Amino acid sequence: MSAQPQEPRVQRRRAPIAITIGVVAVLVIAFFAFAGIYADVLWYDQLGFLSVLTTEWIARIVLFIIGFLAMAVPVWGSIQIAYRSRPVYAKLNSQLDRYQEVFEPLRRLAMYGIPVVLGIFAGVSASSRWELTLAWLNRTPFGTTDPQFGFDVGFYVFELPFYRAIVGFASAVVLLSVLLVIATNYLYGALRVSGREVVISKSARIQIAVTAGLYLLLQAVSIWLDQYATVTETGSLITGASYTDVNATIPGRGILAAIAAVVAVLFFITAIMGRWRLPLVGTALLVVSSLLIGSLYPWVIQRFQVDPSARSLEEPYIQRNIDLTRDAYGIADVEEIPFEAETDAAQGALREDAATTASIRLMDPLVIGPAFEQLEQFRQYYEFPSALDVDRYEIDGASQDTVVAVRDVNLSGLGDAETWFNSHLVYTHGYGLVAAAGNQRSVDGQPVFLQSGIPSSGVLGDFEPRVYFGESSPAYSIVGAPKDAKPIELDYPSGSEGADQTQTTFEGNGGPKLDNAFTKLVYALKFQSEQIFLSDQVTTDSQILYDRDPVERVQKVAPYLTLDTDTYPSVVDGKVVWIVDGYTLSDQYPYSNKVSMSDAIADSETQAPTLAFDEVNYIRNSVKATVDAYDGTVTLYAWDEEDPILQTWQKVFPTTIEPMSKMSGDLMSHVRYPSDLFKVQREVLGRYHVTEAVPFYSREDAWTTPKDPTADAASTLLQPPYYLTMKMPGQDEPSYSLYSTFIPEARGEQSRNVLRGYLAVDADAGSADGERADGYGALRLLTLPEDDNVPGPGQVQAKFNSDPTVSQSLNLLKQGQSNVINGNLLTVPVGGGLLYVQPVYVESTGNTSYPLLQKVLVAFGDQIAFQDTLDLALDVLFGGDSGADAGDNEVDPGATPTPPADGETPAEPTAPNDEVQALLNQASQAIKNKQAALAAGDWAAYGAADAQLAEIVAKLIEATKGE
């Protein structure tokens, strides 16, 4: 008996403990949240982009408050009005009585809780639209009008999406309000259903009718706005308003909007007059009208008027689609050049293209990564990316294409030494940029390094080699120390056996300072490491470096940009910088065809990424960004200053983007035309190289990008574009370019793998301070006639693989447990035709092996050659003398023939003299001897014939020098 009264006391004692625990838990959670927020403030402030964070936060908070109030207040007001105007003496059935008994204790909580919960959801939804709202507030006209309504394109890009979002939000508020009003009135008897009769009080009638009228009024506005959306919607034929849209859908939506507005007025009248018949009849009429006018009538027009005469009726709208698509993707000014490709490999055909031939890249950046690792990694805690990058440098007054990579730090290579101290205080950075000549190889097939070693040395000059910010840098590193402190960061190994190491201390401003206990605690919580707070090596002079990937850094300071997937390092003004291309995108450009950007940029080199902005119909390379590899400084340059979307964001973030005029000449010499933009443009040009509506409708000349011929047979991955220095028809001098090819679009299961187009863009921005070269971005499209069956990459690769001489030689290379790797198959417009070049690598199966360039395959027309060097292969292919030296061989400028003067008849070609003819005959016999030796498996005879052929070719070159 005495124990029972103690239970309430125990519960009363436990209550303060539970409250205390709850308060402590809330405070801990709040501090963790605050730590993340404060760390963001420190990060942005150190980088100089705090305004980006604060602008986003202010916009989000303001929109959250607006969204919360815009939802919560009307819903709360609707419930309050319905409750306060409830009938006092309503006769309720027993079921409603039970509902009220259950609900009444929770009434106050529900009447406030429901609006608050809905308001929170609405606030979160509104805050997520901060970019849309800021773009609308700072919108910039495009200066171009759409051909249907005559509005500026900016109306569709900035305004229409915002207005539709506002109307959609308001419709949701009103709809939820009317549903809660009906539920409240029903619960308290203001709305009763008695058999077939619905009894409704006056107050409930007024409230429900007014709310329903507001909802229908909003629907009228929504339907009215929908007619403008027809020019950005994708139909079965084109993106944009077609004949049926212009003549049926658009006027139909205008009529439906008027009907919805009239029905809304009828509901307002009902609130006054009390009769429901008219608004109910009007609502039924609206539903029927939407079916007849909105669906049936357009279907009838399409089926019985358009389909029988589609080509003629749709012609003007298809032409709109063609013109505006080409404008939106920046391909309106592509220069189309009819190209009658030569297919006969005549002697001396490459003489006029000697500079291009000398720049053909033999080092495949997707293949030679292991060579960089084995020859330049030096220690297990360094690494190179599997896919290297292509850049160019001016060396000895000439532009040299290079394959480049940063030697980054790899903490997993530490093994058992991967302690917290080593991982975050000692091994803090990578070291050096390694560059190899793209067109050269050593005697045994290794890359020829132009910049290499530790310490870094080479032809690129002196530069800061330390890489604290790279694509695979550690999650965080703590650097910096007092001036008199002994350095603890590993700079680079200086001993051949790893016994000696050189230490360094970071001296830049690369991250937030850990100069007080509170900041240390914040970052200890952020990275869940008590060592940050406890370590005696973390001093007031320490900095913490994190978010070190260059793409991540640029994305955080420019959230409105979509970034290129191929970021590359360059030595610029005495330091290593990462160059990142940024795009402004839209999917609301009138009449422009929409493409999936992730699908368009996917190929054998770039797997399909997950992009926030996937479907686009407008793209500009508006920003060039750099990230300093030493201190992480991010600089944004306005590259396309005419882009209205960029101008809009410059108004939002006015101090974050530098003008192009501030770019140094050294930086200009390394920026390039971005690959993702080029991929999207080639995707669009596959169809939109046709500029007339009638042939476009028939799709009689649609193209596609060929599949990568070096990939597995079952692969559907496309061949990537390649950077090369070359001279296109229409150019006076070779320039750094990016190119891709086209073959006919598949008809049925297979496509004819013959070339129909060759697209190249001038990717060289020049080297003047703040001034872009005139030719940069010029797109040139070589169009080949349909009756000229120039083989495509797939056909050429198949011919390489099936040729008996080539296959036997490859079998010889595979002996001794070696793998043969086909490099990128390059297509180069030289000699009046298209030359195919493919390096062939051999790699042993050992763990420390790497690919060595051993052979080169070349093809021109139907002829192929397979030799040890590109120079020799070209000479064999072009009748013993191609007319130009490949690779690092110098080309005699005097060998270029002088063109005849106007009106002068060119001299007839002379026949080879007796000595040359004899050597040609000997070369022909040597080739036959090689083939016979291979067929017989006589490798000694094969080697002798190969040596004899090389000697004969050398004699041929010597004999024809004076001719």
Residue 893 has pLDDT above 50, yes or no: no
For residue 256, what is the enclosing H or E element?
helix 250-273
Confidence of residue 6 (pLDDT cuts 50, 70, 90): low
Q: Distance between CA atoms of 605 and 740, rounded to whole angstroms?
A: 13
Confidence of residue 901 (pLDDT cuts 50, 70, 90): very low
Nearest to 355, CA basis, from 877, 802, 893: 893
Give pairs for 569-573: CB < 8 Å, separation 24+: 569/389, 569/391, 569/404, 569/405, 569/406, 569/433, 569/629, 570/391, 570/404, 570/670, 571/393, 571/433, 571/451, 571/460, 571/461, 571/463, 572/626, 572/664, 572/666, 572/667, 572/670, 573/664, 573/666, 573/667
**pLDDT tens readout for residues 243-259:** 999 999 999 999 999 99
Three-class SS state of 798 = helix
Determine the pLDDT at residue 88: 67
Residue 934 has pLDDT above 80, yes or no: no
Handedness of CA 559, 564, 570, 573 (dihedral sign): negative
b or e along 898-910 (b: 16 or more beta carbons within 10 Å of the residue's beta carbon)?
eeeeeeeeeeeee
Total length of the chain: 963
- Given a contact cutoff of 8 angstroms between Cβ atoms, the answer to whether 874 and 866 are in contact is no
Q: Distance between CA atoms of 294 and 281, rounded to whole angstroms?
A: 19
Determine the pLDDT at residue 909: 37
List the beta bridge partners of residue 478.
Answer: 544
- Given a contact cutoff of 8 angstroms between Cβ atoms, the answer to whether 827 and 742 are in contact is no
The DSSP letter of residue 894 is G
Determine the pLDDT at residue 101: 67
First to last CA, the chain: 126
52, 70, 122, 337, 609 from 65: Cα distances, Å: 20, 8, 9, 58, 35
Confidence of residue 888 (pLDDT cuts 50, 70, 90): very low
Determine the pLDDT at residue 90: 55
Handedness of CA 328, 332, 333, 335 (dihedral sign): positive
The DSSP letter of residue 614 is -
Residue 499 has pLDDT above 60, yes or no: no
Continuous H helices in 711-777:
none
Confidence of residue 902 (pLDDT cuts 50, 70, 90): very low
**pLDDT tens readout for residues 393-403:** 999 888 999 99
Residue 953 has pLDDT above 90, yes or no: no
Token pair in block for residue 913: 């003299």
Confidence of residue 803 (pLDDT cuts 50, 70, 90): confident
Q: Distance between CA atoms of 531 and 821, rounded to whole angstroms?
A: 48
The DSSP letter of residue 53 is H
Burial category of 87 from C-beta neighbours within 10 Å (exposed 0-12, middle 13-18, buried 19 and up): middle
The DSSP letter of residue 734 is -
- Please tell me which residue, 249 or 612, carries the higher pLDDT value: 249
- Please tell me which residue, 735 or 495, carries the higher pLDDT value: 735
299, 303, 310 from 307: Cα distances, Å: 10, 5, 5
List the beta bridge partners of residue 406.
Answer: 433
The rounded mean pLDDT for the chain is: 88
Residue 193 has pLDDT above 80, yes or no: no
Q: Which residues contact 237 (CB under 8 A, 6 or more apart)?
A: 310, 314, 318, 697
Query: How far out from the chain centre does Cα 800 lie?
Result: 33
Angle at 547 between CA 546 and CA 551, to 5 degrees: 150
Whole-number percent of the chain with pLDDT over 70: 87
Residue 899 has pLDDT above 50, yes or no: no
Residue 562 has pLDDT above 90, yes or no: yes
**pLDDT tens readout for residues 389-435:** 999 999 988 899 999 999 999 999 898 889 999 999 999 999 999 99
Mean pLDDT confidence for 507-517: 94
Residue 329 has pLDDT above 80, yes or no: yes
For 125, other C-beta atoms within 10 Å of its C-beta total 16
Determine the pLDDT at residue 443: 84
Confidence of residue 14 (pLDDT cuts 50, 70, 90): low
Three-class SS state of 807 = helix
Tally: H helices and E strands in the chain: 29, 34
807, 876, 960 from 909: Cα distances, Å: 36, 20, 14
Residue 124 has pLDDT above 90, yes or no: yes
Confidence of residue 87 (pLDDT cuts 50, 70, 90): confident
Q: Distance between CA atoms of 267 and 289, rounded to whole angstroms?
A: 18
Burial category of 110 from C-beta neighbours within 10 Å (exposed 0-12, middle 13-18, buried 19 and up): middle
Q: Which of 182-196, 265-279, 353-367 has the lowest mean pLDDT?
A: 182-196
Residue 720 has pLDDT above 60, yes or no: yes
**pLDDT tens readout for residues 445-495:** 899 999 999 999 999 999 999 999 999 999 999 999 998 889 999 998 876
Whole-number percent of the chain with pLDDT over 90: 66
Q: Distance between CA atoms of 488 and 503, rounded to whole angstroms?
A: 6
Selection from 59-68, 342-351, 783-792, 847-856 with the highest mean pLDDT: 59-68
**Angle 50-84/107-127 helices, nearest 10 degrees?**
150
Token pair in block for residue 444: 């045994």
List the beta bridge partners of residue 750.
Answer: 747
Residue 20 has pLDDT above 70, yes or no: yes
Handedness of CA 470, 474, 478, 484 (dihedral sign): negative
